[in-house]
Amino acid sequence: MLSHEQMHHAARQGRTLHSVYVYQAPVRLWHWVTVVAMTVLMATGYFIGKPFLMLPGNDAGMYLMGYVRFAHFAAGYVLAIAFAGRIYWAFAGNEHARQIFLPPLFNGAWWSEVMFELRWYFFLEDRPKKYVGHNPLAAVMMFFLFVLGSLFMIATGFALYSEGAGHGHWSDVLFGWVLVALGDSQTVHSLHRLGLWVLLSFIFVHVYAALREDIMSRQSIISTMISGWRSFRD
* Torsion (CA) 79, 29, 67, 162 in degrees, nearest 10: -20
Strand partners, 19: 231
Q: Applying CB under 6 A, does 134 fall inside the site for ligand HEM?
A: yes
Q: Where are the beta strands (DSSP E) in 54-146?
A: none
Question: Contact, 221 vs 231, CB < 8 A?
Answer: no
Report the residue from 8, 129, 169, 193 that binds ligand HEM according to the rule CB under 6 A. Answer: 193
- In whole angstroms, what is the distance from residue 136 CA to residue 140 CA? 6
Q: Applying CB under 6 A, does 199 fall inside the site for ligand HEM?
A: yes
Write the DSSP string, 86-102. HHHHHHHS-GGGGTTT-
Q: Applying CB under 6 A, does 145 fall inside the site for ligand HEM?
A: no
Write the DSSP string, 147-209. IHHHHHHHHHHHHHHHHHH-TTSHHHHHHHHHHHHHSSHHHHHHHHHHHHHHHHHHHHHHHHH
Would you give the binding string for ligand HEM spanning residues 146-165, x where CB under 6 A is met?
A: x------xx--xx-xx----
Report the residue from 34, 82, 103, 176 that binds ligand HEM according to the rule CB under 6 A. Answer: 34
Q: Which is nearer to ligand HEM, 10 or 225 (CB)?
A: 225
Report the residue from 2, 25, 35, 180 that binds ligand HEM according to the rule CB under 6 A. Answer: 35
Rule CB under 6 A: which residues touch ligand HEM? 27, 31, 34-35, 38-39, 41-42, 45-46, 48-49, 69, 72-73, 76, 79-80, 99-100, 134, 138, 142, 146, 153-154, 157-158, 160-161, 189, 192-193, 195-196, 199, 203, 206-207, 210-211, 221-222, 224-225
